Amino acid sequence: MSGRSFADASHGAAQQALSTPPDSPTHSHAPKMSFGVPSHRKNDSYGSINNILEHGIAIPSSPTSPHGTAIEVPATRSPEAHANQYMNALSASPSTRERRLSRNSFGASLPIPRSKRQSRLSSVTYADVQDALSSDKSRPGMPPVQPTREILASRVQDVFSEKVAAAKNMAFVFDIDGVLVHGDRLIPEGQRVLDMLNGNNQLGIKIPHIFLTNGSGKPEAARTQQLARILKNPVSTEQFIQSHTPMRALAEYYKTVLVVGGEGYRCREVAEEYGFQDIVVPNDIVAWDPSIAPYRVFTEEEKASSRPRDFTQVEIEAIMVFSDSRDYATDMQIIMDLLRSRRGRLGTVADDPVSERIPIYFSQGDMLCPTEHPIPRMSQGAFRIGLEAMYKALTGVDLERVVYGKPELATYKYADEVLASWMDALHGEERIPQNVYMVGDNPASDIVGGNMYGWNTCLVRTGVFQGGENDEENPANFGVFANVWEAVTTACKKQLGEDFLFEWDDRVNPVLHGRASAIE
């Protein structure tokens, strides 16, 4: 099934779920989405309240464009909250075999940015060659030496035109943690794969690849710089998607938001870059009223860097969980206070926990995440399930919530936008290659999402998955591999031929007469 057909099918499934009669066996008694429009946006261009209650969050219209700058992607999950599954046993997960779809609540919609990001080509750098070309002290007054590698690669590509066409019709989408790195520690095959895809191959051609991670908590530029340093390869922000990257579209909806998670105040920086106007973090609230988090030891340094104010006079319009919480007790207490408040005003308790509830968004839903520790650690999904269980215990109703990240359809549609832009940067063709390979280590996110979106999925054993021949719940459709190098080279041999070589050979230069290059 292609990505486009899956999108249509998902939309149909969502519409069918919306029309399910109350006595249907699949009908849930959870309340419909009650996310309201913020007071400063309650005009006709943002849709009526009835439309929001019926179809989830309305898509606002931009003052300069009748269609706005966001795309609405319907959620495709059944209505029940995940807390129902986990109240007694933490065992269930999204499954292709059981034909579950995404993680989201009934009637939800996930806005993603409409316009494509502007791509900038991240060229391969051959340090020894570039150093020789950067200063031509031995040839004063002479034109600079031409980059021999590029000239030779162009000629080789002319000879192997069929392989070049196939290379331009394939692309790789990489999860990061557990596939290319473990935290800050390099998985050696990850560097080798990127060397090859960035041009160190028989054709000297760049094979398109992007990074799609449920990791989060830092601005994209900071994360790509860190990743490039670890992998010793260029990584551009224009080929990089964190779990909260598509959430930049939500800045068009909400002015005052609570942003949760991440180290220090990095997630505030992320939200500012995304265009959110009034950003509150938990420390701001604790600095205003320390009694709101009775078990928190709040330092003078933290207080000095906070932005306290009288939050009884502030209407927080939405909650954004951008990254893993560093303080579960404080973050959960503040989130629960807001979810039970009257339209996001602290110090109040709503008479109706549904009609006055503000929306809450999570950037991803993974239960586990591979780190430098030998056993995967709990991730944002565990935090969300805890919130769902507490909310239901206190109010008696399921918590409606919206979850981005893999395996949610919106994330894959956004990946299409990024991949098409990166294809344009590399090869001057703004399109999605026909053969896309998702390489991941987590069957419940990387594999189930890729399978449902129509990609070829490769499961590696260097992260979360440590099972048998394949995952029983979410089997990878292209295969299971020891590491990312085996996955990528197997895919390349299928598309480019068994004789394709995974290293550039400078001896193709006829001047050398078969001798190794003096550059090597």
- The secondary structure of 304-348, three-state, reads HCCCCCCHHHCCCCEEEECCCCCCHHHHHHHHHHHHCCECCECCC
For residues 87, 88, 89 and 93, what is the CA-based torsion angle, rounded to 10 degrees? -30
C-alpha–C-alpha distance, residues 497 and 163, integer Å: 8
- Residue ranges in the chain modelled with pLDDT below 70: 1-68, 74-108, 115-148, 370, 508-520
| Phi, psi (degrees; rounded to nearest 5) at 313 | -105, 10
Q: Tell me what pLDDT residue 69 has.
A: 73
Q: Using one digit for the tens of pLDDT, what is the confidence trace for 362-411?
A: 988 777 776 778 887 877 888 998 898 899 889 888 888 888 888 888 88
C-alpha–C-alpha distance, residues 56 and 46, integer Å: 12
State how many domains the chain has.
Answer: 1
Is 194 domain-assigned?
Answer: no
Q: Tell me what pLDDT residue 332 has.
A: 93
Is 24 domain-assigned?
Answer: yes
Which domain does 27 fall in, by range?
A: 3-89+99-117
Q: Tell me what pLDDT residue 93 has.
A: 44
Q: Tell me what pLDDT residue 504 has.
A: 86
Is 78 domain-assigned?
Answer: yes
Q: Using one digit for the tens of pLDDT, what is the confidence trace for 469-501?
A: 999 989 999 999 999 999 999 999 999 999 999
H/E stretch holding 481 reads strand 479-481
Is cis: bond before 140, omega within 30 of 0? no
C-alpha–C-alpha distance, residues 458 and 443, integer Å: 10
Is 298 domain-assigned?
Answer: no
Q: Which residues make Cβ contacts (< 8 Å) with residue 387, sequence separation at least 6?
A: 332, 335, 336, 360, 399
Partners of 172 in beta bridges: 209, 437
C-alpha–C-alpha distance, residues 419 and 422, integer Å: 5
For tokens 């650690």, what's the residue? 377
Is 26 domain-assigned?
Answer: yes
Q: Tell me what pLDDT residue 175 has.
A: 95
C-alpha–C-alpha distance, residues 485 and 180, integer Å: 10
Q: Tell me what pLDDT residue 20 has.
A: 36
Number of C-beta neighbours around residue 321 at 10 A: 28
Is 34 domain-assigned?
Answer: yes
Q: Using one digit for the tens of pLDDT, what is the confidence trace for 76-114?
A: 554 445 555 544 333 334 454 443 444 566 556 788 887
Is 160 domain-assigned?
Answer: no
Is 37 domain-assigned?
Answer: yes
Q: Using one digit for the tens of pLDDT, what is the confidence trace for 335-353?
A: 999 999 999 999 999 998 7
Q: Tell me what pLDDT residue 183 has.
A: 83
C-alpha–C-alpha distance, residues 354 and 242, integer Å: 31
Q: Tell me what pLDDT residue 61 has.
A: 41
